[in-house]
Amino acid sequence: MASEDIWILGIHMTKFGKHPDKDTVDLATEAALGALADGGVTMRDVGVLAAGNLMGRGAGIGQLIQKQVGQTGIPVYNVANACATGATALRTAIMAIKAGECDMGLAVGVEKLAGAGLLTGGSRATEKDTWERSGRYGEVAALDGRVGTETMPGVFAQIGMEYAHRYGGIDFELFAQIAEKNHAHSTLNPLASYQKRFTLEEIMNDVMISFPNTRPMCSANCDGAAAAVVVDDSKLKTLSGSQQRRAVKVSASILTTDPWEEACQVLPNVNTLTRNAAAQAYEASGIGPEDLDLVELHDCFATAELVHYDNLMLCEPGGAADLFRSGATWRDGRIPVNVSGGLESKGHPIAATGIANVWEICHHLRGEAGDRQIEGAKVGLAHVIGLGSACGVHVLERAAA
């Protein structure tokens, strides 16, 4: 029988940063074994494994993890969904449990990205004077260098400036203040890739990557992995009181892609699919944005964080700048955002980020977040978005016990 309630029993993330002595499988294994230990279970208890990796050995990362933690013959799903890969792996395990195929699943996301440089979404323009038709992606000329850019800093710079132009009252300094907040938050997170506070002047005067995003306003490519063990309600009730008390309820697990719309397709629309995912998550969970105690959102760039305040309905349409200026999104504000330090300082090992954002929320709901703990946190939201496009939103609640 399909289960209605799904719980995160165990969860773990490695320290994000540079790990020259560990490969993708090493990091994934560390996260998987950590999540199993955190949940008080073993691989023998797991009925499904979903694993995500983009830039390394993605074709069979799940099976490689099995070789390290236990080959038990269970089904393995290898997933790839841009920056939403980790969230997709988690949702895959959740769906298998909801379908009644098993009562416990393991989701893993892992990436080796230290030193990767700029990531691009497609082919770049050539130096040829004439365009030659070639294959599906050569039906039209490459955009990069001709019509804007396909590199991620440029794409999200345009998205932020579009929002600023539409609503006004937003300038370079405001975007820099968002990065200032996230780097300040990172000083309390021992697992963050960078744990350094920057002054506003340092952020604004650093190397300009793509206006208005300077280097400290961009997510950090790094190595890392995260994993989660999920169980259904009936299985959880057979476990110890301690395991039940630390379990975190998954009140909504949503994944969306771009809907059809009559619009220009040059600039990616990160807004509509995120707003759709948020609306579905609030409806499925019966929780509204006003009920959230904290949010971990996909701040791949400072400009992205601002627009996602609006997309996740943390403010009225067009009210993102006012929300930020009110101080609401700081750790001691009304709705703390990216208490972990966000992708700008925690780091962004692409396939791991979706589960790592859930890890942060879970630790606050359990009261285990240490110096950065949001006191009394009961409900949180984790969000990721990957261009291509995919958006994952998870609403999480503290156990009632």
DSSP string, 158-179: HHHHHHHHHH----HHHHHHHH
- Which structural domain range is residue 60 located in? 6-115+220-398
- The verdict on residue 105 lying in a domain is yes
CA neighbor of 159 nearest in space, from 274, 30, 238, 290: 274
- The verdict on residue 194 lying in a domain is no
- The verdict on residue 185 lying in a domain is no
Query: Which tens digits make up the pLDDT trace of 231-241?
Result: 999 999 999 99
CA distances from 194 to 5, 9, 187, 286, 345 (A): 36, 28, 8, 36, 5
pLDDT above 90 coverage of the chain, percent: 83
Ramachandran angles phi, psi of 31, nearest 5°: -65, -45
- Overall average pLDDT of the 171-193 stretch: 98
- The verdict on residue 169 lying in a domain is no
pLDDT above 70 coverage of the chain, percent: 89
Domain harbouring 275, CATH code: 3.40.47.10
Query: Which tens digits make up the pLDDT trace of 268-311?
Result: 889 999 999 999 999 999 999 999 999 999 999 999 999 999 99
> 267 pLDDT band (50/70/90 cuts)?
confident
Q: From the centroid of its chain, how far is CA 281?
A: 15
The SS3 call for residue 341 is: coil
This model's pTM is above 0.75: yes
Query: Which tens digits make up the pLDDT trace of 199-233?
Result: 999 999 999 999 999 999 999 899 999 999 999 99
Can you give the pLDDT at residue 158? 92
> 181 pLDDT band (50/70/90 cuts)?
very high
- Overall average pLDDT of the 346-372 stretch: 97
Amino acid identity, residue 154? G
- The verdict on residue 156 lying in a domain is no
Count CB-CB contacts under 10 A for residue 155: 23
- The verdict on residue 324 lying in a domain is yes
Mean pLDDT of the chain: 92
Number of domains the chain contains: 1
Query: Which tens digits make up the pLDDT trace of 100-127?
Result: 999 999 999 999 998 776 555 444 444 5
Query: Which tens digits make up the pLDDT trace of 303-327?
Result: 999 999 999 999 999 999 999 999 9
DSSP string, 79-141: E-BTBTHHHHHHHHHHHHHHTTS-SEEEEEEEE--TT----BSSPBPPS-SS----SGGGSS-
Range in 20-24, 117-121, 150-154, 171-175 with the lowest mean pLDDT: 117-121
- The verdict on residue 110 lying in a domain is yes
The SS3 call for residue 397 is: strand
Query: Which tens digits make up the pLDDT trace of 65-85?
Result: 999 999 999 999 999 999 999
Q: How far is 23 from 13, CA to CA, in rounded Å?
A: 15
- The verdict on residue 196 lying in a domain is no
